[in-house]
Amino acid sequence: MKHRVAILSEIISPYRIPVFNALAQHESIDLKVIFLADTDPVLRQWPVYKDEIRFTCEVLPSRRFRAGASQLLLNARLAAALKGFAPEAIICGGYNYAASWQALMWARRRRVQFVLWSESNAHDARGQNKFVEFLKVHFLKRCDRFVVPGKSAFQYLRSLGSPAESIFTAPNAVDNAFFATQAEMVKREADAFREKFRLPSRFILFVGRLVAEKGVFDLLQAYAKLGSDLRSEVGLVFAGDGVSKTALSEKAKVTEPGTICFPGFAHREDLAGFYALAEALILPTHSDTWGLAVNEAMACGLPIIVTDVAGCASDLVEDGWNGSVVPAANPDQLSAAINSLLRQPELSRQMSARSAERIQAYSPQACASGLAAAVLTPRAEKR
């Protein structure tokens, strides 16, 4: 007999669809995903790939309110959706939505198992707000179990008092096969892809929102500190969009020699091409719960340079093995890591192979297995 599991998720993210598809195929789970919205048009420019959905789902009516960097998402019909499905367990993606609290109260009244799927870590910028931390601890105490993507989130929940035996790992994942296949296709037509996006023959790559908290200005400074010989040969590509794009492009103009490109936001199909032709992915973030661009880049066989505050750093990147881990907000050390990588082509090739190898364990199927374990493992059993 199947276990009815409802997942509460904010938007229809392209990287979650393969995970939910895999979970829906589990022999012991009857899955329904309840989305709070189709997408967030302000922060997420990706399309909604509804044609790829192979699981039962419902999108709730919603209204989103913004005030500066803060936002409030309100939903209708959540109670009706839960009552109609009558789940035996709810997996809730986060605690910072009104619907999260509503679902928690609904579950507590009916003695339904409630599992928090949390990516927060000790370096999360939101953790600086004492009121948010108070609410978070209040929420955690009422959860039965927890799902985390990796080590940083696990350690953070432990620091807040959550017992280790109640925390399950569902590794964050993207469709590795899709990115690897697309990358190989682009490599066969490399000149055409470079011409389409006006890319230099060699380049290092940033993928993400062009905002200060992603460390994009640190990366620009780090690139400017490279030797002129390297900057003459290797460009820097910022694939993305955001409020800092204009300021960043203005600062880029004074970097001589060097080629700095801003091709704009790239959809999933084009992203694989950027990864395929780049020499490394750089994620210089100041605060990031994970950093899925790292998964994507590793699926395409790239070395990674990432700051130590990124949630994925302790799981995906081994310093000196498949890339480098550097302190956040430190352009000097970031530049040194880039310089070392670009001047050691044989080591770079080894790192590429190691990235492609390591990321195989971070698949949608592995993530789905972790989610399933969180709701199916008997309560008395410890991991």
Condensed to tens digits (0 to 9), the pLDDT of residues 241-286 reads 999 999 999 999 999 999 999 999 998 889 999 999 999 999 999 9
Q: Is 50 exceeded by the pLDDT of residue 165?
A: yes
Task: Name every residue whose Cβ is closer than 8 Å to that of residue 3 and which is 6 or more positions away in sequence.
Answer: 28, 29, 30, 88, 89, 375, 376
Phi, psi of 87 (to 5 degrees): -70, 150
Q: What is the mean pLDDT of the chain?
A: 94
At residue 126, the pLDDT reads: 57
> Do 329 and 206 lie in a common domain?
yes
> Do 245 and 153 lie in a common domain?
no
Does a structural domain hold residue 256? yes
Task: Provide the 3-class DSSP secondary structure of residue 87.
Answer: coil
At residue 382, the pLDDT reads: 42
At residue 130, the pLDDT reads: 77
> Do 223 and 84 lie in a common domain?
no
In which element (H, E) is residue 32 found? Answer: strand 29-35
> Do 132 and 163 lie in a common domain?
yes
pLDDT tens digit sequence for 314-337? 999 999 999 999 999 999 999 999
CA pair distance 225, 334, nearest whole angstrom: 10
**Tokens describing residue 215:** 């460390």
Does a structural domain hold residue 291? yes
At residue 379, the pLDDT reads: 73
Contact 26, 54 (CB under 8 A): no
> Do 336 and 303 lie in a common domain?
yes
Q: What count of Cα atoms within 13 Å lies in the side-chain half-sphere of residue 67?
A: 2
CA pair distance 360, 40, nearest whole angstrom: 29
Q: What share of the chain is helix, strand, coil (3-state, %, to 5)?
A: 45, 20, 35
pLDDT tens digit sequence for 21-53? 999 999 999 999 999 999 887 666 678 889 999
DSSP class per residue in 175-212: -HHHHHHHHHHHHHTHHHHHHHHT--SSEEEEES--SG
> Do 162 and 232 lie in a common domain?
no
pLDDT tens digit sequence for 91-100? 999 998 999 9
CA pair distance 294, 302, nearest whole angstrom: 9
Does a structural domain hold residue 13? yes
At residue 381, the pLDDT reads: 47
Q: Is 60 exceeded by the pLDDT of residue 229?
A: yes
> Do 268 and 324 lie in a common domain?
yes
Q: Is 50 exceeded by the pLDDT of residue 383?
A: no
Instruction: Work out the percent of the chain whose per-residue pLDDT is above 90.
Output: 88
Beta bridge partners of 326: 307
> Do 156 and 234 lie in a common domain?
no
Q: Is 90 exceeded by the pLDDT of residue 307?
A: yes
Beta bridge partners of 117: 147
Own/partner long-range contacts of 158-165 (Cβ < 8 Å, ≥24 apart):
159/122, 160/136, 161/137, 164/383, 165/382, 165/383
**Number of folded domains in the chain?**
2
Q: Is 50 exceeded by the pLDDT of residue 13?
A: yes
Q: Is 70 exceeded by the pLDDT of residue 15?
A: yes
> Do 157 and 236 lie in a common domain?
no
Does a structural domain hold residue 381? no
How much is the CA Rg of the chain, to the nearest whole Å? 21
Per the rule left: phi > 0, alpha: psi between -120 and 50, beta: everything else, 326 is: beta
Give the confidence band of 128 by pLDDT, cuts at 50, 70, 90. low
Phi, psi of 113 (to 5 degrees): -60, 130
Does a structural domain hold residue 382? no
> Do 164 and 194 lie in a common domain?
no
**Tokens describing residue 67:** 């005030």
Contact 292, 175 (CB under 8 A): no
Which range is least confidently modeled, 3-12, 133-142, 171-180?
A: 133-142
Does a structural domain hold residue 252? yes
Domain that residue 97 falls in: 3-173+363-376
> Do 278 and 322 lie in a common domain?
yes
In the 8-state DSSP scheme, what is residue 319?
B
CA pair distance 359, 233, nearest whole angstrom: 29
Distance from first CA to last CA of the chain, Å, rounded? 24
- Looking at per-residue pLDDT, the higher value among 312 and 122 belongs to 312
**Mean local confidence (pLDDT), 206-232:** 97
Does a structural domain hold residue 263? yes
Instruction: Work out the percent of the chain whose per-residue pLDDT is above 70.
Output: 96
Q: Which CATH number fits the domain that encloses residue 249?
A: 3.40.50.2000
> Do 327 and 259 lie in a common domain?
yes
**Mean local confidence (pLDDT), 344-364:** 98
Task: Provide the 3-class DSSP secondary structure of residue 111.
Answer: coil
**Mean local confidence (pLDDT), 101-116:** 98
Give the confidence band of 340 by pLDDT, cuts at 50, 70, 90. very high
Does a structural domain hold residue 145? yes
pLDDT tens digit sequence for 49-78? 899 999 999 999 999 987 766 788 999 999
